[in-house]
Amino acid sequence: MNIKNQLFWVSSFIGLMLDQLTKYWIVQSLYLTQTIPLWEGVFHITYVTNKGAAFSLFSNNGGWLRWLSLIVSLGLMALALLGPRMNRWEQAGYGFILGGALGNGIDRFASGEVVDFLDFRLIQFPVFNLADVLINIGIVCLLIATFGKPAHIDQTRH
């Protein structure tokens, strides 16, 4: 069976599973606000929740984000099913974005907030999660797909 844009589906599924498994592990293993230094002062695992978007944006009024996650997810699935065959970078990029959008969307629909735990303290970065990482990796893949193509060189001689 030949599935159109197969890498899209594989990357979104693997991304979603990794995101949900890591969040489950954090919720089951730590209490809220608990932190475990992996590299003291540089990188910690810290269990916090976030009602907003990435890096706590819109945290005071983020209820609409669950619907945005759903719309983005449905749009990406429609693109993969109904759109053209994508190259590998596009498939991986859109797939990782879907995995991240679904991961955070599931959290928002289930509990109204997202579980965050990746805490880079060296640069005072807001705590985030694997879904956020997946979305950013997806964006990088799409940038490579867009700008990483070798320029076409016209080798005809006049």
Which residues are known to be catalytic? 116, 132
Judge contact between 34 and 46, C-beta under 8 A: yes
CA 152, chain centre distance (Å): 32
Whole-angstrom CA distances from 134 to 85, 87, 104, 148, 152 are 22, 18, 11, 20, 31
43-50 and 35-39 beta bridge pairing:
antiparallel
Separation of alpha carbons 133 and 154, rounded Å: 39
Separation of alpha carbons 156 and 143, rounded Å: 30
Residue type for 16, please? Answer: L
Bridge partner list, 119: 44
